[in-house]
Amino acid sequence: MHGCVRALTQYIHNAENQDKKTFFKEHTHILTNPVAQTRFVFGRGSIKESLPSPQCEEDQSRYNETLLPDSLLSTLKPTFLIRYPALAFHRKTHVSEHYDAALEPQLYEFYERDFNATDNSVETETMFPLVLDADDIMTKPAVVARFCDILCLDTTQLRYQWDTDKETRRPGIMAF
């Protein structure tokens, strides 16, 4: 795990040195420590013995249940993209039997508690983490433009329409 964090950190630094911004998207269940997920699903007492953890524990606060160290998480400007659960139900059944939507509040609370207590959130008047409704992203161009403004991105580069992709896709891939 340490090698992956090092590689990601180096990637971010390289981009900054080239005056570029980095973005990455991940589902919370991929970032959450498997031990924390197990305790969440099966209860706190479900793990009786000490297990080796892939976490970077030397830089992990009590509330950080991800696989990433606080030092990396505190440099990010997190955004949670949510979908109305009734609309997401069909998709989540294709992805996983144990959907982790309830783990998202834990990561949100970590950021709200720890991130906004640092100088990282003072750069703008915007408090992070941001929470965006996926439906708004699709139907309200002003939301996307405001999001870009918050992240200091050039809104003139936004595209709201594009040509239909003609490439044939495998049905299994389309489930995601």
Q: Please give the C-alpha separations between residue 94 and each of 42, 51, 81, 175, in angstroms, as whole numbers.
A: 22, 30, 19, 6
Domains in the chain: boundaries: 25-157
The ranges of the chain with pLDDT < 50 are: 89-100, 103, 120-122
Q: Is the pTM of this model over 0.75?
A: no
Q: Count the Cβ atoms, other than its own, within 10 Å of residue 51.
A: 11
Q: What is the pLDDT of residues 85-109, one digit of tens each?
A: 565 544 444 444 444 455 456 666 7
Q: What is the pLDDT of residues 154-176, one digit of tens each?
A: 999 998 887 877 777 777 666 55
